[in-house]
Structure formats: structure tokens, C-alpha cells
Amino acid sequence: MVDQGVSIAPRRVHYAWTVAFAGAAAMVCGLGLARFAFGMMLPSMSASLGLSYGQGGVLGFANMAGYLIAILLAPLVLPRIGTRIAVTANLVLIALSMLGMAATESFSALCALYVVTGIGSGGVVLPAMSVMAQWFFPSHRGLAAGLVMSGPGFGIILSGFIVPRLAPAYGLLSWQLGWAIFALICAAVAVLAFTLIRNHPDTKGHLPFGKAPATPPGSSPMSRSAKLRLLVHMGVIFAIYGAVYMLYVTFIVTSMVDTFSLGEALAGDLWAWFGFLSIFSGILFGVVSDRIGRRRGMAVAFSVLAVSFLSVGFGPWMPGLYVSIILFGLAAWSIPVIMAASAGDFFGSAAAANALAALTFAFSGGQATGPVLAGFLAERTGDFSASYALSGAAAVLAIGLSLLLKTPDASK
């Protein structure tokens, strides 16, 4: 007898895990290099180009603007071309934009190219995460999303070790050489993604992996208006996360160098440790939310994030920095993982991509505003301590909002 929901060929590894692995590899580039390497690059870019804190924030905003464009287009484009083509094409787009950044020293050109990088980033993240709703039943959906979100951690480790050790070569500044190296990595991963990713388990003769639910996801007695209210409520929470997390990853390395007086090599090592810890954050909180429910999982995650932000929110205290890095690493990708799993759980696998697109749009709005406000606030105060303290307060607010969610699993 075939084990329902596991595999038609039970002695073989279910292909869902291959798709999750390919999604994680894509996320190494789509987030780890296209987004988070920027925080590691920013000190050397600022030094060579004379960028202010505000201009650094504007570059971060440019990336988020591109990300928002991708999220707006995804519901129109993704059903037509599928996850496999979408992820592959956007990885190629990221590689090309990085090559462009390696060839310029113009701030305006960098802004334009980083918009393109943001488009590619959003074009990788949404399909790579939402396709897990097709390949996994809710019993393992949080774990699967967590595995995919382990990818950015590897990208952060790469940038943390590579960037501080770069030197000018081949007529390129150190940061330009870094973007060129990352472009080659993204091109290689594009080939891998095209080879391994499949849009639906039907193409491999599989059912989704996991335990089939008694009631199909998205078929709960919630009315359409109740689902809309739930989507808006979740969007507000995701926007808060987007603002505070993007602020942190954009400027924490700059804070290490400017406020904590660390050398770039040591700052890079700490950044790499954050990347290492973050590999496990999505898996950890994916499993937690599978066990205790999505809203409680979010509340626990925001509690950890709040302590992380507040630990660096009151001036240069080295133990606080170490505590902050450790806790942020352990909870870094918790909220995106839980949101991705929730999209399939609450709105059904067929509507998961559209629900996640709406949630990610709110998330991207928060990401776009967080670094800009923090950059200009830092110019007034002299550092980012006040921004981190405000982030801690916002995370506390998000704990309450998470617990107030009226979800189909509200009994958990």
C-alpha cells in the first residue's frame, strides 16, 4: 500500500526535499548576497565613495523599491511562467545587476542597479517560499520553509568572510571585486535552480510530503471578510518585522565599526557568526510553529528579537553586542518562515502565492522605510542606538499583535 502524502515510491527520498534544497540554494543568492551582503559592503563603499549615513539608507531603499516592484508583478507573472523559470530568470537578473555595480562608482548608477537587484531578489524569494505549500502538507510546512530560509545564512557567512579580506585587483576596488564574485556565484546557482526545481509534485509522480490534513487548508469556516481582516492583521505584523530587521542588517556592521570601534575583519567575523546562527533560525521556529501554532510561534520569535534590539539600543556595550548578534541570529528568519507557512495553512495551497505576495508587499514597505528613517535619525544623534531602541519597542508591540490574531488554529 502506498503511504498517503509521503511518496509513490516510498523507498526513495521524496523529491520535495530536493526542491527545498534548491530553494535554499536560490535563497543564498536571492537574500544572502543580493540583500544582506550590502550591510557588509557598506563600510568600504561609504569610505571609497564618501557616502553619508543618509545615502546608505537611500541605497537600502533602492533595493526595497525593486523588491516591491517584484512583489507587485509576481501574482501576474508567476502563474504564467511557474516557480522554476521565475527563480532561474531572477537569479540571472541579480548576477547581471551585480556585474553592473562592479563596473561603476556613480552613486546614482548604484541606486539604479540596486533597484534591479531588488527586483531579482523579490523574484526569487516569493516563488521559492510559496512553492513549499505545493510540495508539503501543513504538518511539515514550517520545517520546509525553515529549510529554504537557511539559505541566506550561508550567503551571510560568505560575505562575512570574503568581503573584509578583499583587496583592489584587476582595476576594481575591493567592494567592486566583491560584487563581481557574488555575480559569478549567482550565475552558477541559476543553473542549479533550473536543473532541480519543479513547480508541482504531480510532475514527479508524488503527493505533497507529510501527513494529509483531515480538512483541506483554506477550507475553514472563516468568511471571506474574516480572511481579509486576518490578511491585513498579518500584514501589519510583517511590516513591523520588515522595518526592524532591515534596519538591523543594513547598519549593524556599520555600528560595529563606527560605534563599537571594531576592525572590519572582526566585524566581518561577527557578521559571519550571525549568518551561521541564522541557518538554524528558520528551521527552529518553523518546527516551533508546527508544534504550538503560527501566532504563538510569532510571539515567541518577536520576544527574542525585542531583547536583541534592546541589547544594542542604549550605547556601545560589548556584552550587549554579543547578546544581540546571538539572539538576532537565532530568530532572524523566524517571521518570514511562519508567514510563508501561514499563507498555505490559512488560505490554501492554491492561494498561498497570492496571500504571501500581499503579506510580502506589506513586509517590503516596512523594509523600505526602516533603513531610511534610521539613517537620517543616526545623522541627528550620531549613531544607531536610538534606532535599535525603537526597534525593540516595535517588536514588543508585535508580540501583542501576534497574540491577538484570529486564526483557524487560534486554539494553539
Digit-coded pLDDT (tens) for 182-232: 999 999 999 999 999 988 888 777 777 767 665 555 455 567 788 889 999
Euclidean distance between the first and the last CA atom of the chain, given in angstroms as a whole number: 33
Residue 362 scores a pLDDT above 70: yes
Phi-psi region of 405 (alpha: psi -120 to 50; beta: other; left: phi over 0): beta
pLDDT in tens, 248-262: 988 888 888 888 888
Cβ atoms 363, 245 nearer than 8 A: no
Report, as an integer, the average pLDDT of 355-374.
83
Does a structural domain hold residue 411?
no
Nearest to 132 by CA among 124, 140, 123: 140
pLDDT > 90 in the chain, percent: 33
Q: Is residue 409 one of the residues assigned to a domain?
A: no
More confident of the two residues 220 and 359: 359
Q: What is the maximal distance between C-alpha atoms in the chain?
A: 68
Structure confidence at residue 215 (pLDDT): 59
What is the domain extent for residue 236?
15-403
CATH number of the domain that residue 112 is part of: 1.20.1250.20
Q: Which amino acid is at 189?
A: V
Q: What is the pLDDT of residues 92-126, one digit of tens each?
A: 999 999 999 998 888 899 999 999 999 999 999 98
Q: Note whether residue 170 is domain-resident.
A: yes
- pLDDT value for 4: 46
Decide if pLDDT at 22 tops 70. yes
Let me know if residue 10 belongs to a domain: no
What is the rounded distance in angstroms from the CA atom of residue 123 to the CA atom of residue 192?
16
185 within domain boundaries: yes
The residue-averaged pLDDT of 311-329 equals 90
The CA distance from 332 to 326, in Å, is: 10
CA angle 22, 280, 370 (to 5 degrees): 90
C-alpha cell at 248: 538591523
Number of domains in the chain: 1
CA atoms of 243 and 245, how far apart (whole Å)? 6
Average pLDDT, whole number, for the chain? 85
Q: According to the 3-state scheme, what is the secondary structure of the chain? A: CCCCCCCCCCCCCCHHHHHHHHHHHHHHHHHHHCCCHHHHHHHHHHHHHCCCHHHHHHHHHHHHHHHHHHHHHHHHHHHHHHHHHHHHHHHHHHHHHHHHHHCCCCHHHHHHHHHHHHHHHHHHHHHHHHCHHHHECHHHHHHHHHHHCCHHHHHHHHHHHHHHHCCCECCECHHHHHHHHHHHHHHHHHHHHHHHCCCCHHHHCCCCECCCCCCCCCCCCCCHHHHHHHHHHHHHHHHHHHHHHHHHHHHHHHHHHHCCCCCHHHHHHHHHHHHHHHHHHHHHHHHHHHHHCHHHHHHHHHHHHHHHHHHCCCCCCHHHHHHHHHHHHHHCCHHHHHHHHHHHHHHCCCCHHHHHHHHHHHHHHHHHHHHHHHHHHHHHHCCCHHHHHHHHHHHHHHHHHHHCCCCCCCCC
Q: Phi and psi of 293, rounded to 5°?
A: 100, 155
What sign for the dihedral angle of Cα 158, 161, 162, 164? positive
324 in any annotated domain:
yes
Identity (one letter) of the amino acid at 66? Answer: G
d(CA 408, CA 363): 22
What pLDDT shows up at residue 3?
A: 46
State pTM to two decimals: 0.76
Sorting pLDDT into bands at 50, 70 and 90, what band is 317?
confident
50 contact partners, CB below 8 Å, separation of at least 6:
none
Residue 7 — very low, low, confident or very high, per pLDDT cuts 50/70/90? very low
Does residue 216 belong to any structural domain of this protein?
A: yes
Residue 347 inside a domain? The answer is yes
Q: What is the pLDDT of residue 369?
A: 83
Measuring CA to CA, which residue among 272, 242, 253 is closest to residue 339?
242
